[in-house]
Chains A and B, each alone.
Chain A
Amino acid sequence: MAAISVPPQAEPNVLSRLMTRPTAAVGVAVLVVIVLAAILAPAIAPYAPTKLSIASRLHPPSLDHLFGTDDLGRDVFTRMLYAARTSLSVGFAVVIFSSIIGIVLGLTSGFFKKLDAPVSRLIDAMMAFPDILLAIALVAALGATAINVVIALGIVYAPRLARVVRASTLVIRELPYVEAARALGVPTPVILVRHVLRNVTSPLLVQGTFIFANAILAEAGLSFLGVGISPDIPTWGTMIATGRQYMDQAGWIMMFPGAAIVLTVLSLQLVGDGLRDLLDPRLAKDI
């Protein structure tokens, strides 16, 4: 029997399989650069983000100021690095916060038949509001701070995750191994976490990357509209908002943060697409 032993399990992990897809690999590479830039901002940045210099205000890009300077003479490159920290952490926090709400709502509505109708209608009601409008209303009610922006966007995006979790839960609830687990005396909370939630992780991961991208965009939008994070904290959105007034004389002030948003959101979408194709082969659309 030794001769026909089982071959070693050389199952490559998700990340390495993701890297075999060119578009997703580009997305991952860009994201890594952006995240590293954000983390290492204090080390890379040539100036302090708040260092004013009226003498050098509105300088175009040069060797001294790679991306130029803004209306107060602050280095745009430096501020962009620091802005990346805020924008990315807000985006990430939104993913976490909306996942928590979405998982709780989705699991309860999907698993407990009695709760399905009320919770689903709540989800529908939340989804009926236009995203940005609801976020503006919530931030207006809570106050414009970074944490409140996270809370508002978390509430806005939670229903989508709840939908995804509910749909998968409905399927998994009826699978024989859930019934088998119940027949052998596994308590419901354990079934929910171990048998249901674990099987929902892949669609959740895919949705999470899309929500990450949307949240970064929405945070920029809110900040641009002045109902987001206060303008003295650099985020890509607030930078565009201040740059707007100097658009005709100093386009670079809003151009570079704008490019950063496009690049980040695009890479996140590419990674999300790649993950979706990878984790759910039935949806793969490589023709």
Chain B
Amino acid sequence: MTGEIASDVILSVRDLRTWFQTRRLTAKAVDGVTFDLRRGATLAVVGESGSGKSVTSLSIMGLLSRPGRIAGGKILFRDRQEYIHDLAGFTQKEFRKIRGREIAMIFQEPMTSLNPLFTVGDQIGEMIALHEPVDRHAARKRALALLKQVEIPDAVSRLDDYPHQMSGGMRQRVMIAMALACNPLLLIADEPTTALDVTIQAQILDLLRRLQAELGMSILFITHNLGVVAEIAHDVVVMYGGRVVEQAPVNDLFSHQRHPYTRGLLACTPNAARDIDDDGERRALYSIPGSVPPITDLPLGCAFEPRCDLAIAPCRAAPPALVPAGPHGASRCIRSAEL
């Protein structure tokens, strides 16, 4: 036992710091991120490019590439035997036992996440054969069942298709099938719908929700799309500049944002009804002024302060702490009570 976590929590990230260190500078891509993922629930991690959301997921999977390393904190994961591991201290060899079996991951690029040289049946079969001793025939049968489970039409003939014969949505389904091959407890989905068009996005989200209900797996969902968050998440973590700026259950977050960044993000979402003014003219879409500061050069105080319309002098002095805000949430803003 490497730490105590609540019994319904499957993944607990505590004060995770992932730094990319070179001789000249240190990029603190993830700097003190803390969140809990409940068993069977979906936690969405939201943020702009460069907010550290993908690095967080790669840290959990042990897929950081040099010079990235975990500089501090814990990643507590509860496995099938209820044994709690600290993934932050795992070696690659230890990770290999966890990957696929306990934690699986799907990626943003369904077009290139499959090897173009093998049929999809072959690639799903490879996953099955890697983790359990089965012969070719059994692996193929199981691959077929998985394709049916991810709702690929005409699965029997699709089994022998090459990735290039499939659309983006279908390839993402195949990726999901590969990830499900070993019945993982936790699925990390790193922007799985970003490269797909909207109708396909909705189908994939439906599929993930259905699979979660059937298999009881937990999902860590990385995205920058708040519409997707509203669709799929139970809890939300908003990241900015490598830190969690707000966390809350999904309904609380959408009804009342307790951090100016979250509020700004929501205001940036196009909304047909809201974006027409009284004269029936289309209003310009709101955007947060400025851009994300480079993580090698974060402001001394609050990372969002230069772009924040609520900024006051104390915001510049010291980085604010993550304080409880709202019934079940937390916010990293000293003026969160005023929001």
Number of contacts between A and B (CB, 8 Å)?
68
- Are A6 and B165 in touch, CB under 8 angstroms? yes
Return 6 A-B CB contacts under 8 Å, by A number.
A113-B66, A175-B112, A179-B63, A186-B100, A186-B126, A194-B115
Flag whether B222 is at the interface (Cβ < 8 A). Answer: no
Q: With A175-B112, A176-B107, A198-B117 as given contacts, are A183 and B175 in contact (CB-CB < 8 Å)?
A: no
Classify chain B: how many residues form its interface, as a range.
Answer: 20 to 34
The winner among B98, B113, B131 for most chain A CB atoms within 10 A is B113
User: Is the beta-carbon distance between A184 and B113 smaller than 8 angstroms?
Assistant: no
**A180–B63 CA distance with the chains assembled, in angstroms:** 10
Q: Report A-chain residues with C-beta under 8 Å of the C-beta of B107.
A: 176, 179-180, 183
Cβ of B105 under 8 Å from chain A:
yes
Once bound together, how far apart are the Cα atoms of A194 and B129, in whole Å?
Answer: 14
A195 near B115 with CB under 8 A, answer yes
- Indicate whether A199 reaches chain B with its CB closer than 8 angstroms: yes
Q: Which residues of B contact A (CB under 8 A)?
A: 61, 63, 66, 96-101, 104-107, 109, 112-118, 126-127, 130-131, 154, 157, 165, 175, 178-179, 181-182, 188
- B126–A177 CB distance below 8 A: no
A187 interface residue per 8 A CB criterion: yes
Give the residues in chain B near A175, CB-CB below 8 Å. Answer: 112
Interface residues of A (CB under 8 A from B): 1, 6, 113, 175-177, 179-187, 190, 194-195, 198-199
Contacts of A113 in B (CB 8 A): 66
* A1 to B, closest residue via Cβ: B154
Q: A180-B107, A180-B113, A184-B179 are in contact. List 5 more A-B contacts (CB 8 A).
A: A176-B107, A176-B112, A184-B99, A184-B127, A198-B115
Say which residue of B66, B99, B113 sits within 8 Å of A176 (CB atoms).
B113
B130 touches A199 (CB 8 A): no
Closest to B163 in A: A177
Q: Are B100 and A199 in contact (CB under 8 A)?
A: no
Min C-beta distance of A200 to chain B, whole Å: 11
**Cβ–Cβ < 8 Å partners of A187 in chain B:** 96, 130
Q: Are A185 and B130 in contact (CB under 8 A)?
A: yes
User: Within the complex, what minimum Cβ distance (angstroms) separates B179 from chain A?
Assistant: 6
In the complex, the chain A residue whose C-beta lies closest to that of B57 is A183
A118 CB to closest chain B CB, in angstroms? 16
- Asked whether A199 lies within 8 Å of B104 as measured between CB atoms, the reply is no
The 3 closest A-B pairs by CB, nearest first: A185-B100, A185-B99, A183-B105
CA A183 to CA B108, docked complex, whole Å = 13
What residue of chain B has the Cβ atom nearest to residue A196's Cβ? B115
